[in-house]
Amino acid sequence: MSESFPEIQGGGSLILAWQVRNKKVLVIGGGEVAAGRILNLLNADAKVTVISPRDGLNPEVAHRIERKQVEYHDRRFEPSDLDDPHITMVLTAIDDPEASTTIWKLCKERKIAANIADVPPECDFYFGSVHRDGPLQIMVSTNGNGPKMANIVRRRIAASLPPKMGDAISKVGELRKRLRKVAPGNDEGPKRMQWMSKVCVQWTLEDLCEMDERDMDDLLQSFAPDKVPSLEQIRLGEESGEYHFDGSFGWACVV
């Protein structure tokens, strides 16, 4: 029998959530583009070093420097700046194509991932348009073809989400933590994963946004019989079908 598999669509990027917490990132430039890059990096808890003459600083970048949110060097880039073995990535945002290309080549020699602003061929990775709501991050990338289009698409996606979607995701994270206390054994791992998947699929996004701590506790009582009652059933004190909660974790009685 022939099987159907997804067709390969070349020309894309591998979109990843790059963990740069406590890692050193070098930003060369201090203008408006650099300001956006720096904010993204600080939101990801990176250790940011900025190199730029002070007379070229954007007000936001100057604010980050004044608040000591970044390490700052008031000068132009020097090749020796790349000698630090702890540098994870380099971002350039300067109005000098020749200098940018030189930095790109130096990064390639040292095998350091780099992004040269507005020069897609000289980028190991791209910055997309990002929607952020607490733990929720949604990135739209056009692979360097249309940054403004990425922004438009991202706004439309964000507008379609329920309010406080980030809070809902935080609540799901809390539910998972509580589930581990209810069923801590490693042998329960597959069942925990399957049950959490059922909750996320069977409950609407609006239900997850509305869920409170008492709802979590009541919902967890359905784990042992492997049931997923609705939010309405939980608040009415009942479960669909054959089970009735007795108020304790781990078991239910047939009625």
Q: Is 215 annotated in the active site?
A: no
Cα(4)–Cα(16) distance, integer angstroms: 26
Angle between helices 189-202 and 165-182 (to 10 degrees): 150
Instruction: Please pick, among 55, 74, 96, 118, the residue that the annotation labels catalytic.
Output: 118
Question: For residue 46, how far is the Cα from the chain centroid?
Answer: 14
What burial letters (b/e) apply to 216-226, b meaning 16+ CB within 10 Å? bebbbbbbbbe
Residue (of 94, 150, 82, 87) closest to 119 by Cα position: 94
Contacts of 208 (CB under 8 A, 6+ apart): 168, 169, 171, 172, 200
What is the torsion angle, in degrees rounded to the nearest 10, for the CA atoms of residue 103, residue 105, residue 110 and residue 116? Answer: 50
CB 195 within 8 Å of CB 223? yes
- Work out the widest C-alpha separation in the chain, in whole angstroms: 77
User: From residue 126, how far is each of 39, 104, 120, 212 by CA, in Å?
Assistant: 15, 14, 8, 38
Phi, psi of 171 (to 5 degrees): -65, -40
- Residues recognised as catalytic: 118
